Structure 1
């Protein structure tokens, strides 16, 4: 007979499973940070037996099949001889003990499936693909085992005005021909409701990009912020009044 060693140390078979979810947030929420409340169906501790798997008042006893080891020896006979190996005890599922009287609610599992309300805090500066780990917020373990973890993968929705590149923001804005030629001041929209003004120098070409330092996305892992880049596109008027046409004709005669 050939043997395969002694019973191995039991791994943590009672630990609850990890849960992975994807959470979609807006660019505004990514910049400011936010808190979301979600409904999540998962295994939770049984309220009747408090996770023991046994009816209240009943005892938990050592498994008679494995004598508390959680493993049983199997013998397999072949033409080459008999082989023995250790496998998980089918009676106690590797735990080494069983309830004298299983819980009527969870049927001895120590947990039940239920939809719970969870509050998730999203720190500012997160970006698509980043994962937030919430320790112990996964599924409850079997019969008092440790709970799993919850992994929240972030997906930031595209914004109609702003484009995010790392921690920098980009926006394209139209300006009038007169403002590009003569210069002036324009207001820049922001995602936080704050007013920002940009001074446009006279003679600004279409496609000119201006950098506004520190007005981008907050750095996720530290202090400071990225930058805001503003591209100005000179808007060509399509419908002119008679007076506007006359003025442009005069400018053309002046070589402008």
Structure 2
């Protein structure tokens, strides 16, 4: 795949499908072997067909733009004339109609490798503040025995005796149209034009082997489940020791025992005694930073002021103590939802004091009514964590 398909059709790399179609039609009319009288018209016509086949197909075009081989090492055909199973293709049709025959040329043994995807689970603290983690991956690497050559001892492949290095073989059939010449990949060398006579015993001529290796993955601060880290040239090494594809690390964040993440905000529920909620107090909480030894120790705790008369379900917001924003400045907030606890076990003295307190507030036999508009405790909690 040495030709630039965009240059072949004379279109920019951001050309629309309509521009590609118009360029192909114009060039096909110009270089059609039945119209053009130049010696290289047939070959040029096939190059145009190959370029159009790749660029008009969104999947093949995307692969080509990423540096991959959209033809899969196979041969090219024109649009709309491909037949499955390696049968009669567009190139053969041109050869049959116009009596021309030109070689597609041998295909390279060296091709780019496939991209790879692995998954990595992080703790909430690792995802929030970033970390560099070692990751074991199982991918194809260059064969250490032949260094990607594929031959034992590094010997060069020899020219195929069947196709004489062209990578193609020609068949001639007679029909009412005359002689029909068709070209197919050589069955002896599979279109490479060369044969490895003594394949490497480690990779069997493939030029690559499977191997476990460890790479260090740098996780930026603020990532979330579903985010991917893109590592260039860390994927599968290609056939023949070709360039490696890319590696994508998909991240999953494990649930935390205390904190719940909501976007860039962290949420936590704190239980406070009834008396503390009534009188007001200040509590000290361990933050998510407390789980990391490499962070500022002063950030490992935060003081939360609880106003007197705080009701269960009240949420106190602390700015700048949530999750750092991914690739942006600033952090989310820490939301502290207070859950007021009523004592369930009282001794005689405590019970008597509560009776006196109720009497002072005229609440010995309080009248209660349903709150039609208030959220209530469960409403507050549902709103907080939804």
State whether structure 2 residue 110 is matched by structure 1 residue 4.
no
- Rate the CA distance shift 1:184–1:101 in 2: closer, same or farther, 3 A: same
- The offset of 1:20, in angstroms, is 1.1
Alignment partner for residue 202 of structure 2, among 92, 105, 126?
A: 105
Partner SS, residue 253 of structure 1: helix
Q: Which residue of 2 aligns with 1:121?
A: 218
Structure 1 unaligned regions, length at least 5: none
Q: How do 1:157-236 and structure 2 match up within 5 A?
A: 157-193=254-290, 194-236=300-342
8 Å CA contact 1:4–1:84 kept in 2: the answer is no
- The offset of 1:8, in angstroms, is 6.3
User: Which of the two has greater helix per residue?
Assistant: 2
- Larger relative contact order (C-alpha < 8 A, sep ≥ 6)? 1
State whether structure 2 residue 143 is matched by structure 1 residue 32.
no
- Rate the CA distance shift 1:241–1:37 in 2: closer, same or farther, 3 A: same
- The offset of 1:117, in angstroms, is 2.0
What is the alpha-carbon distance in structure 1 between the residues aligned to residue 161 and residue 273 of structure 2?
87
Structure 2 unaligned regions, length at least 5: 1-87, 95-101, 291-299, 364-386
Query: Which shifted more, 82-91 or 229-238?
Result: 82-91
RMSD (CA atoms): 3.0
- The offset of 1:56, in angstroms, is 2.5
- The offset of 1:220, in angstroms, is 1.1
8 Å CA contact 1:13–1:94 kept in 2: the answer is no
What is the alpha-carbon distance in structure 2 between the residues aligned to residue 226 and residue 32 of structure 1?
12
User: Which of the two has greater strand per residue?
Assistant: 1
**Higher Cα Rg, which structure:** 2
State whether structure 2 residue 384 is matched by structure 1 residue 240.
no
Task: Give the aligned length.
Answer: 256
What is the alpha-carbon distance in structure 2 between the residues aligned to residue 182 and residue 60 of structure 1?
88
Alpha-carbon displacement from aligned partner over 1:196-222 (angstroms, at most 9, x marks no partner) = 001111111111111100111111121
- Rate the CA distance shift 1:206–1:53 in 2: closer, same or farther, 3 A: same
Alpha-carbon displacement from aligned partner over 1:158-212 (angstroms, at most 9, x marks no partner) = 1121111111111111111111111110112211111100111111111111110
What is the alpha-carbon distance in structure 1 between the residues aligned to residue 180 and residue 257 of structure 2?
68
8 Å CA contact 1:30–1:156 kept in 2: the answer is yes
What is the alpha-carbon distance in structure 1 between the residues aligned to residue 169 and residue 184 of structure 2?
6
Partner SS, residue 192 of structure 1: helix
What is the alpha-carbon distance in structure 2 between the residues aligned to residue 75 and residue 173 of structure 1?
85
Q: How do 1:48-197 and structure 2 match up within 5 A?
A: 48-65=145-162, 68=165, 70=167, 89-193=186-290, 194-197=300-303
**What TM-score does the superposition give when structure 2 sets the normalisation length?**
0.59
8 Å CA contact 2:109–2:239 kept in 1: the answer is no
- The offset of 1:42, in angstroms, is 1.9
What is the alpha-carbon distance in structure 2 between the residues aligned to residue 180 and residue 69 of structure 1?
87
- The offset of 1:121, in angstroms, is 2.0
- Rate the CA distance shift 1:12–1:103 in 2: closer, same or farther, 3 A: closer
What is the alpha-carbon distance in structure 1 between the residues aligned to residue 345 and residue 173 of structure 2?
91
